[in-house]
Every structure is written in structure tokens, then in C-alpha cells.
Amino acid sequence: MKKCSKSAHDSLTQLNITPLLDLAFVLLVIFIITTIPPVHNLDLELPTAVKHLKDAPRKANYIEVQADGAMYLNQKEIANVSDMLQTLIGLRTKDPDLNIIIRGDSHTKYQQIRAVLDVCQQANVPKVDLATEALNAK
């Protein structure tokens, strides 16, 4: 049996750490360059922030249309659509972001609801919603 030479065993047992040292030095240099030293040599009086309170949510205005054709704006009876138009224009001038929710009785004819929608469009009301109720799951 042939024995291996001693030089072959020596090269296998030694670990070359030169690439590891190179990597460690590169990481050290990157760490030194990327850390920013704190600047404490300037005396600055920084401004303080003021807490801004949120605006209160806008009040929704309700138009109710009953089955007999009676119309109410915020629980005040409106005689006809021309009075409602004038009232809505007045409300819109006070609040340009006017929000109207139309509530109609389930037995109200669609023609009456459509008339109210037309009045809201003529008054340039930006937000008009139709109120509905969820069906009861049985």
C-alpha cells in the first residue's frame, strides 16, 4: 500500500482565511461610510407643529317622499318641486358640498322619486344618495 505524502495532508488541513479577511474589511469600510455622524455643533430652534383638528362631518339633508306624494326636506313639508328647488339652491349656496339623501316610501311611485332627482340635478347638488333598507334574511 502506498502512503500519501505529508505535503498533501498539510494542504488539506489548513484553511485559507485571506478571502474571509478581505470580506470583513470590505464590510467594515461599508459600515464606516454609511453611518452618519450625529451633528451637534449647530444650535437650532426647530419650529413646533400645531395639531390640526379634523373638520366635523357634514350634516346630511334628507328628502322624504311619502306614498301620497307629500315631500319633506329635513322634516319640513315642501309644497311642490319649485319650492324644493329654491330651498335646495339656498342650501347649496350655504354649503357647496351639499349632501342629500332621498328616502322614499316603498309604495311611492317612481315618477315622484324621479322628480326629486331632477330637482336635485337642477340645483346642482353634488352628492345625492337613495336610502334603502336591507332585506331581512329568513
Q: What is the pLDDT of residues 47-58, one digit of tens each?
A: 777 777 666 666
Q: What percent of the chain has pLDDT over 70?
A: 78
The more confident residue out of 49 and 29 is 29
Predicted confidence at residue 6, as pLDDT, reads 59
Domains of the chain by residue range: 61-130
pLDDT tens digit string along 105-135? 888 888 888 888 898 888 888 888 888 777 6
Q: What is the DSSP string of 3-44?
A: PPPHHHHHHHH----HHHHHHHHHHHHHHHHHSPPP--S---
CATH number assigned to the domain covering 61-130: 3.30.420.270
Residue 61 near residue 91 (C-beta atoms within 8 A): yes
The residue assigned the cell 419650529 is 47
Mean pLDDT over each residue of the chain, to the nearest integer: 80
Using an 8 Å Cβ cutoff, are 128 and 116 in contact? no
List the one residue out of 79, 80, 82, 118 whose CA is nearest residue 100. Answer: 118
Write down the pTM of the prediction. Answer: 0.54
